[in-house]
Amino acid sequence: MRKIAIISDFDGTISRRDIGHHFFGTFIPDRERWLELLEQWRMGLISSRECLEHEMTLVRADREDLDVFVNGESIDPYFKDFIDFCERRSIVVLITSDGLDYYIDRLLMRFGLGYLEFNANRLRLADTALEGVEFPYFNAMECTRCGNCKRFHLEKLKSKGYLTVYVGNGYSDRCPAEHADIVLAKGELLDHCRAQRIAHIQFENFRDVERELTSRFILHSGNISL
Ligand SMILES: [Zn+2]
């Protein structure tokens, strides 16, 4: 029996839409340049750090625009139940994101989940201006693909003896998915797992995650039997 940690992506996994992506898509007037950046990132020519730094220089919005935008966003309707499920079993939950801390914090707070532990890149604000982005977890020695490499946080839990369950949907979930004990995937991550023959479980929402964990594994208080 081993203790379990759930490590989950935020954008498009916990939040319904990829908030960072849609925010930049709405507030970057130079659409051509933005799409070009995204293409370079998808092809692996630039890291997500370089991509985010560029996006921040192109964005034409202030804090109020961002707040209004985030107020229109929502989370997976089953996520709160899933957190209750984890809390009843003392299962550790960590949210890890290569997006921006500001909107993650706001959205979690709005749904009464502001106490959840998360890590992300840091939006730098000066009064109402969006000044830039900082990368407190960036480590070029470990990974050159990500701004906040989720694998680093996953490995830390692994080294503490946790069995790691990774939940994600996108390009930035490739690093951790290659190292997690159990992977739950949808979207681009699902395509990647299929293409790379990474063992995974398909899911659509957090009710599926809960159901898959309980049906496939025997869950005890904070522990798992495979
Ligand atoms: Zn990485």
Centre of ligand 1 to C-alpha 206, Å, is 24
Percent of the chain beyond pLDDT 90? 85
What is the Å distance from ligand 1's center to 24 Cα?
22
Q: What's the pLDDT at 34?
A: 97
pLDDT digits (tens, 9 = 90+) for 17-57: 999 999 999 999 999 999 999 999 989 899 999 999 999 99
Distance from Cα 63 to the centre of ligand 1, integer Å: 28
Q: What is the mean pLDDT of residues 165-170?
A: 97
Q: Quote the pLDDT of residue 170.
A: 93
CA of 48 to the centre of ligand 1 (A): 9
- Flag the least confident range among 92-101, 134-143, 199-208: 134-143
Q: Which helix (H) or strand (E) holds 164?
A: strand 163-168
Average pLDDT over residues 58-72: 96
Q: How far is the CA of 135 from the centre of ligand 1 (A)?
A: 13
Tell me: the pLDDT tens digits for 46-63? 999 999 999 999 999 999
Give the pLDDT band of residue 221 (cuts 50, 70, 90). low
Q: Are 104 and 10 in contact (CB under 8 A)?
A: yes
pLDDT of 169 above 80: yes
Interval 60-87 mean pLDDT: 96
Ligand 1 centre distance from Cα of residue 152 (Å): 8
Q: Distance from the CA of 147 to the center of ligand 1, in angstroms? A: 8
Q: Tell how far the Cα of 43 is from the centroid of ligand 1, in angstroms.
A: 15
Distance from Cα 141 to the centre of ligand 1, integer Å: 10
Return the pLDDT at 145. 87
Q: Which residues, at least 6 apart from 18, have a Cβ–Cβ distance to it below 8 Å?
A: 11, 12, 99, 170
At residue 2 the predicted structure's pLDDT band, cuts being 50, 70 and 90, is confident
Contact criterion met (CB below 8 Å) for 169 and 186 = yes
Ligand 1 centroid from CA 109, angstroms: 27
Q: Rounded mean pLDDT of 187-211?
A: 97
Domains and CATH numbers, the chain: 2-16+74-225 (3.40.50.1000), 21-70 (no CATH)
Instruction: Report how far ligand 1's centroid is from the alpha carbon of 128 (Å).
Output: 31
CA of 153 to the centre of ligand 1 (A): 10
Return the DSSP state at 178. T
* 144 alpha carbon – ligand 1 mean position (Å): 7
pLDDT value at residue 68: 96
Band (pLDDT 50/70/90 cuts) for residue 1 is: confident
Q: Which residue would you say has higher pLDDT here, 144 or 97? A: 97
Token pair for 89: 């079993």
Per-residue pLDDT at 31:
97
Q: How confident is the model at residue 78 (pLDDT cuts 50, 70, 90)?
A: very high
Band of residue 140 on the pLDDT scale cut at 50, 70, 90: confident
Q: Residue ranges of the alpha helices (H) in the chain?
A: 19-27, 31-42, 48-58, 63-71, 79-88, 101-110, 150-159, 174-177, 187-196, 206-216
